[in-house]
């Protein structure tokens, strides 16, 4: 049984009840209720209460909680609240040491944010921790730590972003791209989604309702792609039935790896439409 990785993971500030309520209807593949950077220190307690209440709602997608960082005064209370409230996973900010994750005795998926130079260097060990479901790139903090300049193609960050993808994929985990800051620039957002997919990311974290549909489309499988996958699989099946180990489809050579990729694409397409055995991302 295959499951669909999240094309869109929507951050929602924990101190904004109306935004949390709206997130119920936005169609994101996952929602991250944020107790960390999006919430001022004086509002941490209020936000924790809001998130606890929100976790009681009937969500159509998995709901994660981004807790405050390791060693912070809010970390323990955040984690206990989330776990006792039935959260679907924990998002851990600024992870730099795999031992930190090994020490957590929890029974929900962990999503480790890679947003510092040390985190990038330790990404392979972090991704290898059994409880880790995926790695989330944190480009804003990483850019600041690297003292880089803003660039429309993220050239100063490409090495780090690729390192996150490489570590996650090597360990069979899900890599998710960083947020796009200018919520008014949908064209720029779509361009960055295409870049992220080309780099190997499975989806994108988003910070505005208007970014959800674009991320779902960019990281999804289109009808045309699904149809092409069906055609390739049919050609491959016919070749194998004739005892051949290679086939051709639309003029291109087809081997087992191409058939495997086509089947994966078709599974993801079916899952996104609720027609497979399990269409829920993060399941």
Distance (Å, whole) CA 190 – CA 167: 25
Q: What pairs with residue 206 in β-bridges? A: 10
Distance (Å, whole) CA 155 – CA 148: 10
141 is in an annotated binding site: yes
Distance (Å, whole) CA 57 – CA 187: 33
Q: What is the 3-state secondary structure (H, E, C) of 217-273?
A: HHCCCCHHHHHHHHHHHHHHHHHHHCCCCCEEECCEEECHHHHHHHHHHHHHHHHHC
Element (H, E) at 25: none
In a 10 Å sphere around its CB, with 0-12 CB exposed, 13-18 middle and 19+ buried, how is residue 201 labelled?
buried
- Cα 62 to Cα 24, 157, 258: the distances in Å are 11, 29, 31
115 is in an annotated binding site: yes
Coil, helix or strand at residue 192: helix
66 is in an annotated binding site: yes
Distance (Å, whole) CA 250 – CA 273: 27
Contact 82, 74 (CB under 8 A): no
Annotated binding site for substrate: 66, 115
Annotated binding site: 66, 115, 141
Annotated binding site for Mg(2+): 115, 141
């Amino acid at each position: 049984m295959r499951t669909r990785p999240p094309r869109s993971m929507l951050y929602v500030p924990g101190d904004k009840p109306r935004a949390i309520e709206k997130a119920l209807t936005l169609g994101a593949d996952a929602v991250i209720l944020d107790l960390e950077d999006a919430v001022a220190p004086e509002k941490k307690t209020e936000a924790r209460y809001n998130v606890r209440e929100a976790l009681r709602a009937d969500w159509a997608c998995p709901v994660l909680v981004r807790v405050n960082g390791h060693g912070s005064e809010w970390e323990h209370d955040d984690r206990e609240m989330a776990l006792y409230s039935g959260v679907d996973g924990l998002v851990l900010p600024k992870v730099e040491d795999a031992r930190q994750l090994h020490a957590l005795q929890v029974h929900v998926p962990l999503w480790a944010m890679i947003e510092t130079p040390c985190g990038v260097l330790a990404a392979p060990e972090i991704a290898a921790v059994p409880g880790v479901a995926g790695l989330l790139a944190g480009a804003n903090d990483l850019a600041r730590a690297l003292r880089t300049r803003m660039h429309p193609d993220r050239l100063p960050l490409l090495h780090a972003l690729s390192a996150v993808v490489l570590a996650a994929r090597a360990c069979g985990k899900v890599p998710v791209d960083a947020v796009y800051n200018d919520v008014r620039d949908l064209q720029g957002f779509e361009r960055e989604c295409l870049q992220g997919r080309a780099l190997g990311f499975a989806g994108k974290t988003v910070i505005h309702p208007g970014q959800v549909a674009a991320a779902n489309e960019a990281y999804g499988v289109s009808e045309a792609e699904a149809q092409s996958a069906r055609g390739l699989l049919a050609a491959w099946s016919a070749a194998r039935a004739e005892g051949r180990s290679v086939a051709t489809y639309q003029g291109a050579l087809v081997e087992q790896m191409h058939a495997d990729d086509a089947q994966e694409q078709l599974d993801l397409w079916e899952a996104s439409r609720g027609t497979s055995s399990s269409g829920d991302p993060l399941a």
